[in-house]
Amino acid sequence: MIGMNKTYMAKPNEIEQKWWLVDASDKVVGRLASDIAMILMGKHRPTYTPHVDTGDYVVVTNVDKVVFTGKKLDYKRYTRYTGYPGLRIEMARDRLEKRPELLLSEAVRRMLPKNKLGRKMLMKLKCYKSGEQHPHQPQNPEVIELAKK
């Protein structure tokens, strides 16, 4: 058949991964997490390939200044299983005060593929509490605006 188009499949050594810097202050957690997950998976590129890690690195600052919509800050519960009878329950307000970087990284983790590739993608997410101080300055991350209202 003459004139057939071929589907492009990216190869791991062909992908050039960039570094992005995101300021999370006054951003809604879920919307920010979904945008970050898209960048980590590489769906923002035309060369996206599902079985290859085509995503970029994301550095998130000011994670302690994210917001929830509605009454989620008071009513949203995070449960975890310890191996013993009964679950450990933590409210969103407590998690935001104690470990805000875990709050965002867990939201992103649940939006990534549930396999080895998804775990590799999650390792490219770097979350920091507040300020511009992060150890990734030598990578020269580009500033990107995510979760616009």
**Confidence label for 1 from pLDDT (cuts 50, 70 and 90):** low
Indicate the DSSP class of residue 141.
Answer: P
Q: Is the pLDDT of residue 3 over 90?
A: no
pLDDT score for 121:
97
Six-digit token string for 99: 């470990």
Task: Give residues with Cβ within 8 angstroms of 90, minimum separation 6.
Answer: 77, 78, 79, 80
pLDDT score for 111:
97
With contact defined as beta carbons under 8 Å apart, do 21 and 59 qualify?
A: yes
- Provide, rounded to the nearest whole percent, the portion of the chain with pLDDT above 90: 84
DSSP codes, 80-137: EE-SSSSEEEEEHHHHHHH-HHHHHHHHHHTTS-SSHHHHHHHTTEEE-SSSS--TTG
Lowest-confidence range among 11-15, 36-40, 116-120?
11-15
pLDDT score for 8:
87
Q: Is the pLDDT of residue 132 over 80?
A: no
**Confidence label for 131 from pLDDT (cuts 50, 70 and 90):** confident
What is the tens place of the pLDDT at every residue in 84-120?
998 899 999 999 999 999 999 999 999 999 999 999 9
pTM score, two decimals?
0.91
What is the tens place of the pLDDT at every residue in 59-94?
999 999 999 999 999 999 999 898 999 889 999 999
Angle at 56 between CA 55 and CA 62, to 5 degrees: 130
> Reduced to 3 states, what is the DSSP secondary structure of residue 46?
coil
Domains identified in the chain and CATH numbers: 18-67+101-134 (3.90.1180.10)
Q: Give the containing element (helix H, strand E) for 33.
A: helix 29-41
